[in-house]
Amino acid sequence: MTLEILTPDKKIFEGEVTAVTVPGTMGSFQILRDHAPIISTLEDGPVIIKTKGNEEIIEIKGGVVEVLKNKVIVLAEGVA
């Protein structure tokens, strides 16, 4: 599945991932391949990106996540 993390200033991340964990308003949740379509608000916290054999953490300052047809878009207000 594809992940994009965007801020008003620039694109922070773009690429193929196996899993993404985001800091949802009601608690963090993980997104895997073939996840149901969803739009959710995000709190300040870590976005944990898992690729084949690698893990990266990006701290965001709130935002929104959209999942549709194996494409995940995180619109963050900023990064820490």
Query: Residue 18's domain spans which residues?
Result: 2-76
Give the pLDDT band (50/70/90) at residue 80.
confident
Beta strand 2-6 with 71-76: parallel, antiparallel or unpaired?
Answer: parallel
Per residue, the 3-state secondary structure of 4-59, as one string, reads EEECCCCEEEEEECCEEEEEECCEEEEEECCCCCEEEEECCEEEEEEECCEEEEEE
pTM for this predicted structure: 0.95
Total tally of structural domains belonging to the chain: 1
CATH of the domain at 58: 2.60.15.10
Q: What is the pLDDT of residues 3-59, one digit of tens each?
A: 999 999 999 999 999 999 999 999 999 999 999 999 999 999 999 999 998 999 999
Q: Is the pLDDT of residue 72 over 90?
A: yes
Query: Which helix (H) or strand (E) segment is 63 a member of?
Result: strand 63-68
